[in-house]
Amino acid sequence: MTQALSRFVVLGATTNIEFLGDVVSHPGFAAAETTTDFISRCWPEGWSADAHRESHPPAAVLLAAAAEQLFLHRSGMTSSAGDGLDEEDLGPDPYNPFLTLSRSFP
């Protein structure tokens, strides 16, 4: 379930996928200690997306940084007559999320 949640992509909408990931990866969940007070016991101050992000570096940020570096490298390439490089050879549009996803898209 953790793997499925980490691979699930929703573009343009706010979701609770991070929260669900924290729930299913919690040791109490694995031990089947999920009573009606599970959330209040595990997160007595309430669950926070900011706290989650501090403890789990978002893969999307790391991927975006890598893609930006790749784009900067490729944009520095120049094509001169006779070198066989066309603009199409420099790769797809780095800002198209459907072309840069590194996982399956539903």
How far apart CA 28 and CA 46 sit, in angstroms, is 16
For residues 9 and 48, state if they share a domain. Answer: yes
Domain carrying residue 87: 59-100
| Residue-by-residue pLDDT tens, the chain, 106 positions | 888 888 888 888 888 888 898 899 888 999 998 899 999 998 889 888 777 766 666 677 778 778 887 876 666 555 444 445 454 555 666 676 666 666 665 5
How far apart CA 72 and CA 65 sit, in angstroms, is 11
For residues 43 and 73, state if they share a domain. Answer: no
In a domain, 42, yes or no: yes
In a domain, 12, yes or no: yes
